[in-house]
Structure 1
Amino acid sequence: MSDHEQGSGIETFQAEGLSFPPAPAMAATANATAELYAQAAADPQAFWADQARALLTWRTPFTKTLEWELPFATWFADGTLNVAENCVDRHVAAGRGERVAFHWVGEPGDRRTVTYNDLYREVQKTANALKALGVQQGDRVAIYMPMVPEVAVAMLACARLGAAHSVVFSGFPANALADRINDAEAKVLITADGGYRKGTFFELKPIADEALRSTPSITGVLVYRRRRAETSGETAMHAGRDHWWSDLVDAQVAA
C-alpha cells in the first residue's frame, strides 16, 4: 500500500535547473529576442494583434483580438483572410517572386526547385481548373496523391477558392478512401496514376476507381501523371469524369 494518503499530490524530490543557451552567434540571428518576449509577456493581446497586422494580409481587418471562454479561445473572430494569398501572393507582391518557396526531392531521384512565382502561377491555374470542374466556395475536395509538389499546389488552389480540402494518405485502400470522401461529401477527387516508393511504382488510380463506385458526391476527378516514361503500364480514364492534370490545368490561364 502506498505511504501517501489517497488523493495526495506527488512529491517532487529533485528539481532540474540546468539550461542550455544557444551559442552567441546563433542567438544573434534569432527571430525571437528577449525584448520581443518581454513585449509579448507584458500585453499578449496587443502583441499578437500587432503581429497579425504586420505579417498577414487581411481581406477584412479584425477589430476583436481574442475572445476567450474557457476552454475555448477564438482569435481575430471578425477578421477574414485567404490562406493562399498569405502563403503565396503576398510574397510575389513584395518582390520575392524569384525566391525559393520550396525544394522537392522525390523518387526515383527527381528534384525540383519551386519559386514563389512558379507556385503563384500553378496555384492560379489549378484553382481555375477546379472552378471548371464546378468547385465553389464551401465545397470539399479530396486529395489522394503521392508525395509530389502538386499536393501543395492542390491544397493552396482549394484555399484560393474557399474550398476545404481533405488529404487522404496514399497508402490507404479503396474502402478507407471512400469513407473519407463520403464523410466530407467531396465534389472532386484529385489523385494520380500512381507514385514511387522505395524505387518501385505503385498504382493509385485503380484504387481510386474502386472507391469511386460508392462515392455519389464526386462529379469530377483530376489525375496527375506521375508514371515515368520508362515505367510500363496504362491508366484507365472514365470519359466525362476523369481529366488529366496536364490537359486541364495546363490549359488554364494564370489569373
Structure 2
Amino acid sequence: MCHGSGRRPRSLFPTKPPAFERQGVSEDDLIDFTPELRAEALQIVENFTLGPIYTPPTLQEPNGNRGTIALPSAGGGVNWPGGAVDADAGILFVPSVTRPSLFGLIDGTEGTGVRYHISSASGVPTVRDLPLIKPPYGRITAIDLTEGEIIWQIPHGETPGYIQAHPDLQGVDIPKTGILTQSSGLLVTSTLLFAGEGARGAPVLRAYDKRTGEIVHELQLPGGPTTGFPITYMANGQQHIVVAALDEERIAELVAFTLP
C-alpha cells in the first residue's frame, strides 16, 4: 500500500556487486607518475572540494574555492553505450571511463528568485597537460551476476601518445592506462568479447578472452575508429563480424571481417 511520498535520511548504496568505477574523489585518486607531479596535483586541489560520491557542488568564490571535483563525471562512468551480457555464463561486461567533472555554484540572476546556478560540468584542471586523476582512464569490467563479484578488470586501450611522449615522463615506467573515451559498444560471443575504442580512439577492434580479459587479437581497421556496436552473424558456414567505423575522411562506413 502506498503511504505517500517522503524522503530517506540517507542515500542507499548497493552492497553487491562492487562499484566498477571510482566513486568520489580523494587525494589517493590524484596523479602519481612522479613525486613532482603528485606534489603539484596536491597543490592544485587545495582550491577545490573533494569528497565521496554525492558530495554537493560548492559555492565558487573569487580567489577561493573553485567547485567540487566529482567522479563519476556528468556523463557517468558508463552512460552510453552500456554493457553486454553473456546470459549463459551469467556475466555482465561493462566498459567505463574515469573522467571527472567540475561542479560549482554561482549566484543566481537577480529578479529570477533562483539563488544559485550550477556553473559548469567541465573545467577540471590538468597537471602540466596530464590528467589530474591517475589511471586507468578507460576499462572493461567482467561481473559475475550470480555471486555479485568482479571476475576481472582491465584497462581498455593503450596509453595515449601524448602521455608516452610527455617530457616529464621520459624514463618513467608508465602502466597501460586505457583511453579517455567512451567505448563504441561490446559484443559477446561463445568465447570472445569484442570492443572498439569509440570515435576518439584508435582504429582497432580488440578481441578479448571473456574468461580472463586477456587480448587474443587486435583487428586493425582500414580507416578510422569504431563508432557503433559490433555485430556477428553466420553465412555459408563462416562467422562474420561487422562494425560501424569512420573512414580516413571521417565518413561513416561498415567494416566486415571473416573469422577463421
TM bucket, shorter chain: under 0.3
TM-score, L = length of structure 2: 0.21
TM-score, L = length of structure 1: 0.21
Greater share of residues in helix: 1
Greater share of residues in strand: 2
Larger Rg: 1
